[in-house]
Chains A and B, each alone.
Chain A
Amino acid sequence: MAPPSGETLLIGWLLLPYTAAFLAALLPPLARGLALLCCLATGAVALAIQAGALPASLSLLGPYGVSLQPDGLAAPFLLLNALVCGAVVLDSWRRTLPGPFLLLLMVLHGGLASAFVAVDLVSLYVTLEVVGISAFLLILGSRSERSLWLALRYLLIGNTVMTLYLVGAAVVYLAQGSFRLEAVAGAGAAALALLLVGLLTKAGLFLSGLWLPRTHAEAPAEVSALLSGVVVAAGIVPLLRLSGVVPALAAVLPVIGLASAGLGLVFALVEADAKRLLAWSTLSQMGLVVLAPAAGGLYALGHGLAKAALFLVARRFPGRDLAGWARRPLAAGVWVPLWIGSLSIVGVPPLLGFFAKAGLDRTLPGPTGLLLSLLTVGTAAVYARLWGAPLQEAAAPAPAESAWSPGVLLLLAALVLLGAAEASRSWSPELLPAAAKANLVLAAGVGLHRLLQPLRHRPWFRLPDLEAFPDLVGGMGVVGAGLLVWIR
């Protein structure tokens, strides 16, 4: 028998998570193994794409059918999907999970994998809705009244923007007779604005992403790790693909990205809660991912791995309030991941985050590069707030679960090893000044943190609450109307 062709392998890989989820419903004891198998398969596909062993594009069911593009742009996102989902499965290996957690995780994993490779508007719509519904059910996991409300809010907002997205898709079809992404370029400003409202909201960018902090901060720790690590990327990948084929978007997207980075940063600097600080930082970092499509994949990979590790250890924080943070010692299993993860996001060599940031810096023109450095100083000041806690010295009385979570270890190992791989691949003398700059930025960030710390007690040092439901819908409306006026 001949070996299966690349196309067969790809289709089998895309179907695997759904088959596995179905099988896990019938045979629950197999669920963990099946979930790990799905993650391994996705990781293998990501590596095969990097090695060029798979077809770079795939068209099913004729010219109006499903078109997939498992190309170099999708590869880092697929690797991110595999590592974060795998880490969440490993992290909860010894705990009993609420209800159908693993089953939903597999569906979410499959939906994300399809969303990263889909290149027509309709397949994207379906995969984004699959991702949205499974994330909604995962947030519902704890069944508290609070999570009911957050999940309702998440799905209501998500479905509303996807409805607007469908209107945009209809206008594209009316003008161009096709649902492919390339057709968007000739379909006019209104269609592009409607599609963008959908994708920007899903990606958690700028005012349309205001739903993100509360949802990510209040969800259970594993779900937060999934949401902040990979689920936001489901909106990012289509945005990056679109900005490659639509010149009007390539001009608009960096501005929205910078605005989002600034907005998230300011709120993260003022925030008083550790998990909400991480969530605001996600909003800010996603803005940096969309600055340059060429470097965005690696940046999203670096950020997603680190943020997922941070959210996974957030479950073991002694308290979430940042006011007394420096007085509460952290166990080594929390303290070390907290430092490594946040140093990677700040971009300190030799972690993956440094190479991602250096790659982004190379592709940006002068003034934007300067802004990026300033934003990174702010990011360092945000994470410096988490570095105040001392390391717990004596071993705590034997806790119920082991001190180190295997999932967090996987993510940290990925950050270090991928950093080393990137170093050996892209080594050049130019990286030395970049490393010096990263250390300078870190020092400036710590300085800014010292400067801001006394101000935090003042009553005027706070920002308006923009996260009430009318604000979220209003934010979407403002972004949509702004895009309609702005895009030519």
Chain B
Amino acid sequence: MDPFRLLELLILVAVLVGFVGLLLRRNLFLKVLAMDVMGSAVVALFVLVAARAGLRSPILAAPLAPGAVAAPLPMADPIPQAVILTAIVIGLSIQALLLVVITRLARVDPSLDLASFDAGRLDAEGRR
């Protein structure tokens, strides 16, 4: 099997595992962690897409001497790398915000079980 396809498949399995974790886990913290698994898989996917053309970072190491020709090394595609850098920053800030909210919610139920927040049960307590 083509190694590119194999890696792509593994990454998509990781996305799916994250999604199933989000669906099935009862603990809020684990849900956020499952979302992070999905996020990391997407980062891996973009890195893989960028590495399709080559592995070397597309940065010139030293200025070339006049007249010299750069060695034709296969470079990685910079576009997906630039895109995923933005997405990593956004993902990190969202994780931070969610974890702050979870620490506040832990005052309602320290075990962070979904059932104590969902299905309107907080209505009765939250509007005390």
Contact = CB atoms under 8 A, between A and B. Distances in A.
A145 B122 contact: yes
Given A160-B22, A170-B42, A125 B87 contact: yes
Interface in B20-72: 22-24, 28, 31-32, 35, 38-39, 42, 45-46, 49, 52
A152 B22 CA distance: 13
B118 interface: yes
B122 A140 contact: no
Interface in A370-405: none
A469 interface: yes
Given A133-B93, A167-B42, A477 B23 contact: yes
A163 B38 contact: yes
A469 B114 contact: yes
A173 B45 contact: no
Nearest to B101: A152
Interface in B74-128: 79-80, 83, 86-87, 90-91, 93-94, 97-98, 101-102, 104-105, 107-108, 114, 117-119, 122-123, 125-127
Interface string A40-53: 00000000000000
Given A156-B98, A465-B119, A148 B127 contact: no
A174 B49 contact: yes
A155 B45 contact: no
Contacts of A122: 83, 86
Nearest to B11: A167
Contact of B35 (A126, A156, A169, A468): A156
B97 A145 contact: no
Nearest to A470: B23
Interface in A153-170: 155-156, 159-160, 163-164, 166-167, 169-170
B31 to A, nearest CB: 7
Name the prevailing secondary structure of the A interface residues. helix
A155 B125 contact: no
Contact of B105 (A152, A155, A160): A152
> Chain B, interface size: which category?
35 or more
A156 B31 contact: yes
A144 B105 CA distance: 10
A152 B28 contact: yes
B94 A155 contact: yes
A148 B101 contact: yes
A452 B53 CA distance: 64
A64 interface: yes
Given A145-B105, A148-B104, A159 B91 contact: yes
Contacts of A129: 90, 94
A148 B105 contact: yes
B35 to A, nearest CB: 6
A155 B99 CA distance: 11
Interface string A117-157: 00000100110010001001100100011101101100110
A473 B24 CA distance: 10
A144 to B, nearest CB: 6
Contacts of B101: 140, 148, 151-152, 155
Nearest to A163: B38
A163 B42 contact: yes
B79 A468 contact: no
A474 interface: yes
A18 interface: no
Interface string A436-480: 000000000000000000000000000001001110011001000
A179 interface: yes
Given A126-B86, A129-B90, A133-B97, A149 B105 contact: yes
Given A64-B79, A160-B38, A167-B42, A155 B97 contact: yes
Nearest to A178: B79
B118 A469 contact: yes
Contacts of B52: 174
A173 B52 CA distance: 12
Most buried by A among B46, B52, B101: B101
A146 B122 contact: yes
Contacts of B23: 470, 473-474, 477
Nearest to A469: B118
Which 5 pairs between the two chains have the least Cβ-Cβ distance?
A146-B126, A149-B117, A145-B126, A473-B23, A152-B101
Given A163-B38, A164-B15, A477-B23, 4 more contacts: A152-B102, A163-B39, A173-B80, A179-B79
Interface of B: 12, 15, 19, 22-24, 28, 31-32, 35, 38-39, 42, 45-46, 49, 52, 79-80, 83, 86-87, 90-91, 93-94, 97-98, 101-102, 104-105, 107-108, 114, 117-119, 122-123, 125-127
13 contacts: A122-B83, A133-B94, A145-B104, A145-B126, A151-B101, A155-B97, A156-B31, A160-B35, A163-B38, A163-B91, A164-B19, A169-B83, A468-B118
